[in-house]
Amino acid sequence: TKVELAARLGRVRGTGIDIVNHCINDVLVQGARPLFFLDYVASSRLDAARVAEIVEGMSDACRVSGCVILGGETAEMPGVYADGAFDIAGTLVGVVERADLLPRPTVSNGDVLIGLASNGPHTNGYSLLRRVFSWASLDQPYGRLDRSLADALLEPHRSYLPVLGPILRDPRLKALVHVTGGGLVENVPRVLPQGLDATIRVGSWPVPALFSLVAELTTMHPMELHRALNMGIGMVLVVARDDASVIRERLGEESWIIGELVSSKEHEPCVRLSGH
């Protein structure tokens, strides 16, 4: 529902960036680089200026990532969408050599989790966020954030291609996790084989002010917070403990060891939070 907030505030260009970067990150976790993108924009009534603004955001995001927009489709559906509402979707195709596909079968007990920072909520958790801040004047500066709530909430989804591109083919990189809907709690298990769980240490990375504010205003249990929001971690790398320092150096930006993999007798992999 980030698009609803963007439409209400008249700031839709970022939604075009959001959809492209979200798709790029989704192919990165397969070990792939983006090739081309197709878009879809639907609304109750097509507003040519608004569609142009959205597509401009998509084009800019593709250009930065060396990805091509091959085409797209628009749909005008009065009665399906509320007046003024719109929705966007995208399909991105990437390429990877079979030998470089992620996750690798070498994911094992004792591997560590390296977290990379998100730059905001990205594109998930907005039903909660809109409810939490329904009382607030979004366009006004908010002291604890050093900017307005609108700026914080509408920050475009970060692409991890610039930082991960150089190491995608490094055999020491075992798996990648794009932290989207379900947060760390539901996304990390996707790359784990049966017999492994992940232990994540809450407090092992700095939590951005926006997420700390949500935690204070809702008094949600930490497990639910880390399921609803990315809490400051947008991408997770799985590597052997002995390789962690080399991989972190190759990343070229700040990162944190946020947890490790442990053996488990449970049927399905899960995440356990410690330190809360």
- C-alpha closest to that of 124 among 28, 274, 5, 206: 5
Is the pTM value of this prediction over 0.85? Answer: yes
Question: What residues are paired with 230 via a beta bridge?
Answer: none
Spatial distance between the Cα atoms of 173 and 170, rounded to a whole number of angstroms:
6
Residues 6+ apart with CB under 8 A from 57: 12, 13, 14, 15, 16, 17, 18, 20, 156
Look at the domain 111-274 and name its fold.
Answer: Phosphoribosyl-aminoimidazole Synthetase; Chain A, domain 2 (3.90.650)
Spatial distance between the Cα atoms of 114 and 36, rounded to a whole number of angstroms:
29
pLDDT confidence of residue 74: 92
pLDDT confidence of residue 60: 97
Thinking of the domain 1-95, which architecture would CATH place it in? Answer: 2-Layer Sandwich (3.30)
Spatial distance between the Cα atoms of 75 and 10, rounded to a whole number of angstroms:
20
Three-state DSSP string of the chain: CHHHHHHHHCCCHHHHHHHHHHHHHHHHCCCCEEEEEEEEEEECCCCHHHHHHHHHHHHHHHHHHCCEEEEEEEEECECCECCCCEEEEEEEEEECCHHHCCCCCCCCCCCEEEEEECCCCCCCCHHHHHHHCCCCCCCCEEHHHCEEHHHHHCCCCCCCHHHHHHHCCCCCEEEEEECCCCHHHHHHHHHCCCCEEEEEECCCCCCCHHHHHHHHHHCCCHHHHHHHCCCCEEEEEEECHHHHHHHHHHHCCCCEEEEEEEECCCCCCCEEEECC
Residue appearing with tokens 């007046």 = 83
pLDDT in tens, 173-195: 999 999 999 999 999 999 999 99
Average pLDDT, integer, range 36-55:
94
Residues 6+ apart with CB under 8 A from 99: none
pLDDT in tens, 69-104: 999 999 999 888 888 888 999 999 999 999 999 999
Q: Is 80 exceeded by the pLDDT of residue 266?
A: no
Q: Where in the chain is the domain with CATH 3.90.650.10?
A: 111-274
pLDDT band at 144 (very low <50, low <70, confident <90, very high): confident
Q: Where in the chain is the domain with CATH 3.30.1330.10?
A: 1-95
